[in-house]
Structures are given as structure tokens and as C-alpha cells.
């Protein structure tokens, strides 16, 4: 079965191109975020995944819940997703749309994982270094994971910088067994 992000990406790209043509990126971002939140609601999610629910009923119910939060194009996207049984991937579509929007605006998201809490000054310095390396503004989220033992792991898009003790030990173990 295909990865959910692989299925969601074409929808996000289409929505992004349309939004950029219409110069309405903020509106689309808002609409997709709202629709994704609705699709993530436990009761709505159960309704979406219920095989007994007819597509027409699902479409009507979802659009009624969204109300005037979706414009005509947003409603058309929901209709297409319902028609192809893909309404449940709306959160992934929204996420992919936001990634495309951030890339276009010259912003990258970074995930910084540290073994212990790092200071605000160190975080700021690290972000400056990442911005210099990638040539774009970095929006970082910092989390603590004691399982990496020590050091830090940074994920920016497809790039992973693993300077953690756990990562180094895994590399060593791989080298010794190869």
C-alpha cells in the first residue's frame, strides 16, 4: 500500500498551485487547517472510516460541519476526496501544503532533539548555524529525548544530522558487523 504522504502530496500540490495563482495562500492555509482539524475529530474520523456511510451522506455531513469556513474550491476538494475515499488524509494534505508554502516563503522547519534541555541561547545559536547552512529561515521545534543518551539530533526536511551518542553507537555497531 502506498505511503499516506505519497497519496496526499498531489492534492497538496494542486491546492498550492491554485492558491498561489489566486494569491490566496493564507486563505487556503486556513481552510485546509480547519478541514484537517474537522477530519481529525474522533467522531468525524469514525464516521469517515465507517464503511456503511454512503459517500453522498459523508460529503453532505462534512461540508455542513465545515460550514462557511470553506470556499467553493475548498468544497470541491472535499467532494473529490470523498469521491475517491481519501477524506481521511486531509491532515496530511494540510501538512504537505504548509511545507510547500514554507519552502516558497524561504522557511524550513527543523526538529531539534536533544538528550537534555538546551538553553535558549544555545537554541538560538544552533538556529543561526542552520540558517547559514541551508540559506533559509529556520523555524525550529525543540524536544527532549533521553533515549539518545547524549548529544543532539537535527532533522531539516530530508536532511538528518545525528550527533547523538545513540547514533554514534549504532554507526559503530554497523561498522563492526559489516
**Residue 49's domain spans which residues?**
4-102
| Measured CA angle at 115 (ends 113, 119), to 5 deg | 80
Residue 2: its pLDDT value, please?
Answer: 60
Count Cβ atoms within 10 A of the Cβ of residue 94 and give its class: 0-12 exposed, 13-18 middle, 19 or more buried: buried
Domain boundary among 77, 102, 127: 102
Determine the length of the chain: 178
155 shares its domain with 73 = no
50 shares its domain with 134 = no
Residue 1: its pLDDT value, please?
Answer: 42
Residue 49: its pLDDT value, please?
Answer: 92
The residues, ordered by sequence, that sit 6+ positions from 74 with a Cβ below 8 Å of its Cβ are 28, 31, 32, 35, 66
79 shares its domain with 124 = no
Residue 109: its pLDDT value, please?
Answer: 86
Looking up cell 524561504 gives 106
Domain boundary among 75, 102, 129: 102
Write the secondary structure of 66-81 as one string of H (helix), E (strand) and C (coil): HHHHCCHHHHHHHHHH
26 shares its domain with 98 = yes
Looking up cell 474537522 gives 38
61 shares its domain with 120 = no
- CB burial string 35-72: b at 16+ within 10 A, e below: bbebbeeeebeebbeeeeeeeeebbeebbebbeebbee
The residues, ordered by sequence, that sit 6+ positions from 15 with a Cβ below 8 Å of its Cβ are 28, 32, 77, 93, 97
pLDDT average per 10 residues of sequence, the chain (178 residues): 81 95 93 95 93 94 94 95 94 93 85 94 95 90 94 89 92 89
pTM: 0.65
Look at residue 50 and give its three-state secondary structure: coil
Nearest 5°: phi and psi at 69? Answer: -70, -20
Amino acid at each position: 500500500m502506498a505511503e499516506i504522504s505519497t497519496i496526499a502530496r498531489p492534492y497538496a500540490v494542486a491546492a498550492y498551485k491554485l492558491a498561489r495563482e489566486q494569491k490566496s495562500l493564507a486563505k487556503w492555509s486556513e481552510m485546509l487547517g480547519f478541514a484537517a482539524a474537522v477530519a481529525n475529530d474522533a467522531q468525524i474520523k469514525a464516521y469517515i472510516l465507517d464503511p456503511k456511510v454512503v459517500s453522498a451522506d459523508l460529503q453532505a455531513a462534512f461540508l455542513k460541519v465545515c460550514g462557511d469556513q470553506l470556499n467553493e474550491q475548498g468544497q470541491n476538494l472535499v467532494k473529490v476526496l470523498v469521491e475517491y475515499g481519501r477524506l481521511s488524509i486531509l491532515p496530511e494534505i494540510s501538512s504537505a501544503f504548509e511545507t510547500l508554502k514554507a519552502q516558497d516563503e524561504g522557511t524550513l522547519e527543523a526538529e531539534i532533539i536533544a538528550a537534555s534541555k538546551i538553553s535558549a541561547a544555545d537554541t538560538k545559536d544552533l538556529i543561526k548555524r542552520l540558517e547559514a547552512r541551508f540559506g533559509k529561515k529556520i523555524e525550529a521545534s525543540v524536544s527532549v529525548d533521553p533515549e539518545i543518551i547524549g548529544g543532539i539530533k537535527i532533522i531539516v526536511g530530508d536532511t538528518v544530522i545525528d550527533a547523538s551518542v545513540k547514533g554514534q553507537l549504532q554507526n559503530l555497531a554497523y561498522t563492526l558487523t559489516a
